[in-house]
Amino acid sequence: MPERKAQPRTLRPGATVGVLGGGQLGRMMALSGSAMGYRFVALDPAPDAPCGQVSPQIVAAYDDIGAARELARRADVITYEFENVDAGVAALLAEESYVPQGSALLHTTQHRLREKAAIEAAGVPVAPYRKVASLADLKAAAAELGLPAVLKTVTGGYDGKGQAVLRWEDELEDAFRRLALERADSAASPQGAPAAGDAGSPGASEDAPLVLEKFVPFRCEISVIAARSPRGEVKSFPAAENIHVNNILHLSIVPARVPEAIQRKARELAEKLIAGLDAVGLLAVEMFVTEDGELFVNELAPRPHNSGHYTMDACATSQFEQHVRAVCNLPLGDTELLTPAVMVNVLGQHLEGAVGRCTSDDEDANRLGVISKLHIYGKTESKTGRKMGHINLLCKDTADALAWVEQTNLWRN
């Protein structure tokens, strides 16, 4: 059913932005928007959540209808900072408040097959894929696409979970059973809750639980964050080159180390996508770049994205300010890159060393001509692999910032 579009409203500083989710993305959005004079209120089940430390917070579960109603009452406009928004809550908020982003795009990006179909419909390439509802489907798909290929659950996967690289035919059966089971598990948990109409068990409906993608032998991975306002203005940020370690983003390098023509094409694709999807707010577009310069979109996120954190210190407008501008229907900010930059994520195991480095004299930084900007999210518990903060390294040449990361010896594990 097509979504009924809310009439665009322009919200001036002084208005209250309600944020579903109180993690680091909400916190940075609130910090940025507060500087412009907006007020914020976050809804998050964890007391003292990162966003709750810088704005009022309603402490309640995401599917708590009473709490959602209170958020609607206190906010003039509502946005979200994560994707697994409960369908019932989204509908209630759209009814009782103003949600310029709507929920259609969330519904699309919560499901890999819907997402791929929407990307293709906007005329943007994705890696060849087949839907997989049974082992027989998987065998047929592997024969058509060839191996290696990547098998993924259509919902619930993140940071490399819910997927397997298949290199040999004798790996198909095990991978199918394992991922079909994972998918059934994630469908049963509230956070991975699929939207209405999804299959609950493998092969239970026409909606396939898995997707097989052709393996793209990429030269690098890049992402572009685009923004669109209800009045239809579209802007994109410079492409970031992303390096992952253990499937978690480690570095974003900007400018990406690919020819300018590819950077331009990536931005054009992201802009075409956000307009084609009729989206409002931010859309992060992750892409593979092949050796011959072809681009394939891998994944979308309809929110601020880790690979856009470099914009906080390196661009004329940050992704967070841009998001607030977009949902409030202000003119979008200039996205010019003011300096080359490298963003390095600070995970639990890096926290102490990184804070120590950035809060004392740093001779390596001075010698390399690198300026480090520390951002810490205020999470109460630090764990290995958990995103605790990031550092934006401003530099004349990204090689100098990469040398700093190397020389600190902090990111070897």
- Which residues sit at the interface with ligand AMP, rule CB under 6 A? 127, 150, 157, 160, 163, 213, 215-216, 221, 244, 247, 298-299
Are 71 and 48 a contacting pair, CB within 8 Å? Answer: no
Measuring CA to CA, which residue among 116, 75, 154, 149 is closest to residue 324? 75
Q: Is 377 annotated as a binding residue?
A: no
Which residue's entry shows tokens 């950035």?
A: 358
Closer CB to ligand AMP, residue 17 or residue 297?
297
Q: Is 5 annotated as a binding residue?
A: no
Q: Is 244 annotated as a binding residue?
A: yes
Q: Is 221 annotated as a binding residue?
A: yes
Task: Output the CA–CA distances (angstroms, integers) from residue 177 to 97, 134, 186, in the order listed.
Answer: 43, 10, 14
Q: Is 86 annotated as a binding residue?
A: no
Q: Is 361 annotated as a binding residue?
A: no
Closest contact distance (angstroms) between CB of 242 and ligand AMP is: 8
Six-digit token pair at 223?
A: 């992402």
Six-digit token pair at 47?
A: 């007391």
Q: Is 162 annotated as a binding residue?
A: yes
Q: Is 243 exposed, middle or buried (0-12, 13-18, 19+ CB in 10 A)?
A: middle
Q: Is 76 annotated as a binding residue?
A: no
Closer CB to ligand AMP, residue 31 or residue 119?
119
Six-digit token pair at 365?
A: 């930084």
Q: Is 131 annotated as a binding residue?
A: no
Cα distance between residue 325 and residue 281, in whole Å: 8
Closer CB to ligand AMP, residue 150 or residue 312?
150
Closest contact distance (angstroms) between CB of 386 and ligand AMP is: 18
Cα distance between residue 334 and residue 326, in whole Å: 12
Q: Is 288 annotated as a binding residue?
A: no
Cα distance between residue 340 and residue 27, in whole Å: 25
Residue 99 in 3-state DSSP? coil
Closer CB to ligand AMP, residue 110 or residue 298?
298
What is 367-388 written as a DSSP string?
Answer: HHT-EEEEEE---S---TT-EE
Closest contact distance (angstroms) between CB of 387 and ligand AMP is: 16
Closer CB to ligand AMP, residue 5 or residue 167?
167
Closest contact distance (angstroms) between CB of 39 and ligand AMP is: 35
Six-digit token pair at 393?
A: 């390294």
Closer CB to ligand AMP, residue 163 or residue 229?
163
Closest contact distance (angstroms) between CB of 84 and ligand AMP is: 15
Q: Is 107 annotated as a binding residue?
A: no
Which contacts qualify for 159-168: CB closer than 8 Å, 24 or more apart?
Answer: 159/247, 159/248, 160/244, 160/246, 160/247, 160/248, 161/247, 162/186, 165/215, 166/142, 166/212
Closest contact distance (angstroms) between CB of 288 and ligand AMP is: 6
Which residues does 365 contact at the CB level (< 8 Å), separation at least 6? 371, 372, 404
**Phi, psi angle pair for 33, to nearest 5°:** -70, -30
Closest contact distance (angstroms) between CB of 218 and ligand AMP is: 6
Closest contact distance (angstroms) between CB of 251 and ligand AMP is: 13
Closer CB to ligand AMP, residue 102 or residue 157?
157
Closer CB to ligand AMP, residue 19 or residue 249?
249
Are 21 and 10 a contacting pair, CB within 8 Å? Answer: no
Task: Output the CA–CA distances (angstroms, integers) from residue 198 to 118, 241, 288, 300, 405, in the order listed.
Answer: 17, 34, 28, 19, 44
Measuring CA to CA, which residue among 345, 343, 354 is closest to residue 386? 345
Per the annotation, where are the binding residues? 112, 152, 157-163, 213-216, 221, 244, 298-299
Per the annotation, where are the binding residues for ATP? 112, 152, 157-163, 213-216, 221, 244, 298-299
